Amino acid sequence: MDSTADPKGKRPLYQEDGLAYARAAAAAASATAAAAPDEEEAKPKPKPSSSSEEAKPEPEAEDQAEMPPLVLVAEDGVEVSISRRAARMSHMLRLLMEDSCADGPIPAPNVHSDILDLVVQYCEKHGPYYDPEASERARNPFPPFPVELTPTVSSIKPVTYVDPDPHGLKDWDKDFISLDNSTLFEVILAANYLNIEDLLDLGTTTVADMMRGKKPEEIREIFEIENDYTPEQEAELRKENAWAFED
Amino acid sequence: MDRLCDNIVEEILCRLPAKYLHRVRATARRYNLIILSPEFGARYWESHAPYLSGVFLQSNRPWGQHSRFLAGPSDRPSTATRSVFASDLAFLPRLPAGPPARDGEIFIMHAAAGLLLCSRGEYKAVQYYVCNPVSWQWVALPELPRPPTHLSGLLSVTNNRDGSSIKCFQVALFNHPSGWNQNNGCLDLKVFSSATGRWAAKSIRSPTIDVVTHAPPFLGQSGTAYWIGYSPMDKLIAYNSLNHTIQVLPLPSRVRDTTALNRCVGERQGGGLRYAHFDFSMFQVWDLQFGGVNGVWWKLVHQVGVMELAERNPEATALVTKPEYVEWRVNANSPGSSLFSVLGVHPTADIIFLDVNGNVGAYSIEHGTIRYQCPNQYFRSDVFPYVHPAHPVEIPAITKAPLELNRS
């Protein structure tokens, strides 16, 4: 839409350029095209079509030449590619892209390739709608007067109800995050390493939701925590804040 | 779970209210250490405290009550705060499911020092609760034997000597000033103190007040209730429930005060009274100052023309078709048809909450712009300023009153 798109991914938000999409960049990424299909077969879960397209380099809508997708290397050596647009969601990858260090393979130690796939899946889904400036705007919502009322700049919302979830991402997130505990923790660790704020937020909130309303025994059972209290110490703790243990 | 590093565990624990943090402490030593560490405490309050000052907006609608928390500057608190802050008070006990009767619903009566005073049922309530929506702790006050005729209540707290925790709290239910100076009328109080654990009834003769008012009070966090006068219009009745004093304060007069409406008063955090009104073509905000000839005077802190306000916020006037109607609607005298009406004052930020054509907006004095908060198509809305301090607030235990002797 706006041809003077800021390379750092600032507004306006990414727009698909139909023509650019049709052009398949021949550059690089043929190596990733070879590696990616292997791990795609190894994966048990079906993936949405957007990530299977990662075998081909994903064309970018920036006015610079199409950038090939980034290549992340998991701990078991499998390479996973992630489009530049989706990689913006990771603060670490964003910094690498800005410093132009992102052309070669990027190591992601301690992250298994299955988990990396899940993380990339999340980023690809949220990537097109991700606005790095959104949290900054929320923190300072009153622009000084006078204000240029272009739609993306104005935080004077219309005096009618605005749908907080226009792209239907909440339901997708709920399905995405319904994983077993160990996978969930691995995803959280990976999001922490790659510094993906939204995914970390989603993961930790899900864990907190699982804890809420449960008794300590139930929490221990769900999260496989070992109880290293003596019965007297535990009774002492319960007495100290008795109100917290009532229902 | 034991595999997660401390940093991530802290991140998860930041999303739990204090009630469940205590339960997690009881699971294993590691979590006890994490939760008790001062670094975690600082992190917890740093992430939540900025969003925990604002107002509770409680609206009356015929099919049930509805309350929401408006923080003003940030109407989108972080997901962590949304997990912790139960602004819908869902943790209070509800009556078993049945037709939603107003008698069974929880109504907010007052907020002070991070705690809320709620009643079950709006009128003729006998059951009252004091709760903390951030830690999810609540206590039920002993039931009153008879429903009181009072509709207003004030919660006030007394801090411990070192000021870090609450020593005791007091709940005072009181009647409207219109009943104070009638024949044989006086200030009727029902006072509950957590130190005694009992309700006590009191009657106080009020000094003769020549002010007629019918409006509901604006309740301040210091335990004071304010009624804006109707006739004469430039007087304010203030009743303080801690020392049971009644005062009449002057209010700034209005150029064209054909109606005594569209005005509000609110206490600011740390003391100080703020008053806002629409006066024909101006919107003015005043702060109370001490000193001067009469001991108090009002200082004008902000003034903006109503037409300018409408110009800056074109969405508000979008529904008004012709430009000449804008001025008429902006200055309309009857409530409901006026385009702007003032609802309440934010306790910490320089924000006034306005009702803009059926929606609540937060008007920033510094920037002069209005930020939409929520719709407000209700008959009456009450505003309760609420600030939770950046440390845990525990409700002091209620002393058990000695058992009454059984009469056989």
Nearest Cα neighbor of A120 from A91, A94, A89 is A89
Ranges in chain B, pLDDT < 50: 405-408
pLDDT at A95 over 60: yes
Cα–Cα dist B351/B73, whole Å: 8
Distance CA B147, CA B119 (A): 11
pLDDT of A112 strictly over 50: yes
CA distance A17 to A78: 31
- Yes or no: say if B400 and B126 are a contact pair by the CB < 8 Å rule: no
For the record, the structure tokens of A167 come out as 């792209």
Measure Cα distances from A230 to A217, A237, B32 in Å: 14, 11, 14
Chain A partners within 8 Å of B3 (Cβ): 185
Q: Which residues of B touch A209 (CB under 8 A)?
A: 83
- Per DSSP bridges, beta strands A70-73 and A105-107 are parallel
Give the per-residue pLDDT at B315. Answer: 64
Q: Which of A97-111, A197-211, B173-187 has the highest mean pLDDT?
A: A197-211
Short-list B230, B234, B235, B263, CA closest to B335: B263
Axis crossing angle, helix A169-176 with helix A113-126, rounded to the nearest 10: 170
How does DSSP classify residue A60? Answer: P
The shortest CB-CB distance from A159 to any of B12, B73, B357 is to B357
Of A4-18, A115-129, B71-85, B200-214, minimum mean pLDDT range? A4-18
Q: CA dihedral in degrees (A63, A197, A202, B93; nearest 10)?
A: -130
> Does the pLDDT value for residue A16 go beyond 50?
no
Query: What is residue A152's predicted lDDT score, i.e. its pLDDT?
Result: 34
Q: In angstroms, rounded to a whole number, what is the distance separating the alpha carbons of residues A156 and B367?
A: 12
Those residues whose C-beta lies under 8 Å from the C-beta of residue B308, and which sit 6 or more positions away, are none
Per-position b or e across B69-100, b if 16+ CB within 10 A of its CB = bbbbbbbbbbebbebbbbbebebbeeeeeeee
The radius of gyration computed from the CA coordinates of chain B, to the nearest angstrom, equals 23
How high is the pLDDT of residue A20? Answer: 38
Within an 8 Å CB–CB cutoff, is residue B247 touching chain A? no
What is the ipTM score, two decimals?
0.79
User: How many Cβ atoms sit within 10 Å of the Cβ of residue B397?
Assistant: 12
Residues of A in contact with B19 (CB under 8 A): 243-244
For residue B130, the model assigns a pLDDT of 92
Tell me the pairing of strands A105-107 and B370-375: unpaired
CA dihedral B222, B245, B154, B268 (to 10 degrees): -30
Distance CA B332, CA B261 (A): 11
- Whether cis (ω within 30° of 0) applies to the bond prior to A12 is yes
Residue B351: how many other CB atoms lie within 10 Å: 26
CB contact at 8 A, B56 and B111: yes
Q: Which residue has the tokens 């798109």?
A: A5
Q: Rounded to whole angstroms, how far apart are CA atoms B120 and B64?
A: 13
Q: CA B215, CA B297: separation in Å to the nearest integer?
A: 23
Pairwise CB contact (< 8 Å): B369 & A145: yes
- Give mean pLDDT, residues A2-18: 43
Most confidently predicted of A135-149, A170-184, B67-81, B335-349: A170-184
Residue A3 has pLDDT above 50, yes or no: no
| pLDDT over threshold 50, residue A146 | no
Q: pLDDT at position B285, please? A: 92
Give contacts of B 343-362 with A, CB under 8 A.
356-357, 359, 361
* B224-228: strand order across its sheet: B218-219, B224-228, B235-240, B245-250
Query: Residue A119: in which H helix or E strand, if any?
Result: helix A113-126
pLDDT at A4 over 50: no
B245, B248, B276: which is closest to B262 by C-alpha? Answer: B276
User: Which phi and psi angles does B407 have, rounded to 5°?
Assistant: -95, 120
Encoded amino acid at B31, one letter: Y
pLDDT for A240:
87
Instruction: Tell me the chain B residues in contact with residue A145 when contact means C-beta distances shorter than 8 Å.
Output: 312, 367-369
Kindly list the residues from chain B whose CB atom is less than 8 angstroms away from the CB atom of residue A160.
315, 359
Using omega within 30 degrees of 0 as the cis cutoff, is the peptide bond preceding A146 cis?
Answer: yes
For the record, the structure tokens of A50 come out as: 């957007």
Q: Residue B274: what pLDDT?
A: 92
In sequence order, which residues have a C-beta less than 8 Å from that of residue A4 and are 6 or more positions away? A63
Question: What's the CA gap between A59 and A20, in Å, rounded?
Answer: 6
A196-215: average pLDDT: 90
pLDDT > 60? residue A55: no
Strand (E) or helix (H) holding B232:
none
Instruction: Say if B312 is an interface residue toward chain A (CB within 8 Å).
Output: yes
Tens of pLDDT, residues B387-402: 998 888 888 888 886 6
Please give the residue that has the higher pLDDT: either B111 or A156: B111
Mean pLDDT of chain A: 69
User: What whole-number distance in Å separates Cα of residue A117 and Cα of residue A111?
Assistant: 10
pLDDT on residue A34: 40
Confidence of residue A59 (pLDDT cuts 50, 70, 90): very low
Residue A133: its pLDDT value, please? 64
**What is the reported pTM?**
0.77
pLDDT of residue A149: 39
Phi, psi of A208, rounded to the nearest 5 degrees: -65, -40
**Cβ within 8 Å of A, B 12-71:** 12-29, 31-32
Q: pLDDT value at position A7?
A: 45
According to the model, what pLDDT value does residue B117 have? 92
What is the pLDDT confidence band of residue A54, given thresholds at 50, 70 and 90? very low
How many CA atoms lie less than 13 Å away from B190 in the CB half-sphere? 21
